[in-house]
Amino acid sequence: MNNRVTRALAITMLFLLVLTPTLSAQVPTESLSTDPYWGVFVQCKTLKNGEYRVVMGYLWEGSEDLPLDRSDLNKTGISGRLPQTFKPGRHTFTLKTSHDQFVWTVRALGRTKTTTFGAPNVSECPYWGIFVDCVLPDDNGYKVRFGYKWDGDQPLILERSDLNRQSAVTGTVPQVFEPGRHTFDIYVNDLNNIVWTVNAQGKGKTTTGSPNYQTICQAPTPEPTPVTAKYNTAIGDRVWLDDNGDGIQDAGEANMPDVTVTLLDDEGSELGQRVTGPTGFYIFTGLMAGRYQLRFDLPEGYAFSLENRGGDEYIDSDVDEEGLTDLFTVGDDTIDYRWDAGLVPDSGQFPPEGRTVLALPLVILGD
């Protein structure tokens, strides 16, 4: 009888030891914050004549400007202007340096965050450019066929895209670049230096139509018309390799390219697919408000990381063991960048590394 009691007490103590850290980890202190989210990141790099152009950025979800308590680099000899105030939304800027590694440190709202540029771990910036394809004078003025080329494998959301005389123009310029080469037509009464200005990836470019442009537009051709988004909501974010298996994106953890992400409606029907690029990012654009769900395909040799850890929904992993997110709702004109998936190497053991199986107390019945 004494041996049975001893075994039952031992099993109960094991249960308490396993359960206690699991329960305490479910109440992160960061989840108590009511401040809007802000974060910093390194987007991509370009190497030219031994000097890096590094596209950095930040995201601030407040409705007013956020003054920073600190914004500095840990090395000198880096040209470019660091922001000292965050504007609402997502913004990028470019730094030039010969260093192959440096750290940007920012402090605001009582929190400090860093992002590290390490040349071998940062992908090259895909090329983008704009141009005037042709001009056609007619009785009502001029038709100007503008165009753009974007070498990325995911849509590029522009920081700026406008004409210098919008009030005298019929037609609109794109606010998102789809992969590939595309053209669109603008109609103006006066073709006196109509200028299209675009900012993206920390660069600004312009192209100008004028009456002296030599290429005359031909009659309409059967080339496909670029797809224009009917709605303005976007959903996306990142797939990454969760080195320490904690379910949280940490500095220096690698991107996971070539992962297929499927967008589902609230009945489980497939609406479209994206494949993560070299930066691990994906995005679905041109969506209407509604309820959606995402499904991430699991690459061979990997398992999904822990779900909903750390209290910051912008840097955690949001998928269950089947690769599905919860159903979620987005509104009109919304950019929802918080749906991430962390991956860990699949060791083949059970339970997977980082997951806990609770031991329940053993009840001993009488003879």
Do strands 66-67 and 85-86 pair parallel, antiparallel, or not at all (unpaired)? Answer: antiparallel
In contact, 83 and 115? CB cutoff 8 Å: no
Flag whether pLDDT at 125 surpasses 80. yes
Flag whether pLDDT at 164 surpasses 70. yes
Average pLDDT estimate for 134-141: 71
Cα–Cα dist 328/345, whole Å: 28
Tokens 């600190």, located at residue: 70
Q: Residues 6 or more apart from 295 whose CB is under 8 A from it? A: 261, 262, 264, 323, 324, 325
Second CATH level (architecture) for the domain 39-121 = Sandwich (2.60)
The CATH classification number of 1-31+229-367 equals: 2.60.40.10
Average pLDDT estimate for 267-278: 91
Domain boundaries, the chain: 1-31+229-367, 39-121, 128-209
Please, where are the H alpha helices in the chain? 2-24
Query: What Rg value do the Cα atoms of the chain yield, rounded?
Result: 26
Same fold, 1-31+229-367 and 39-121: yes
| CB-count exposure of residue 36 (10 Å: 0-12, 13-18, 19+) | middle
Terminal Cα distance for the chain, rounded: 11
Cα–Cα dist 256/340, whole Å: 11
Residues 226-243 pLDDT 10s: 444 457 788 999 999 999
Cα–Cα dist 119/363, whole Å: 58
Q: What's the pTM value of the predicted model, to 2 decimals?
A: 0.46
Give the pLDDT score at 27.
38
Which has the minimum average pLDDT: 15-19, 96-100, 271-275, 315-319? 15-19
Residues 244-257 pLDDT 10s: 989 999 888 989 99
Of 194, 183, 198, nearest to 149 (Cα)? 183
Q: What percent of the chain has pLDDT over 70?
A: 77
Class of the CATH-defined domain 128-209: mainly beta
Residues 78-120 pLDDT 10s: 999 999 999 998 888 889 999 999 999 999 999 999 999 998 8
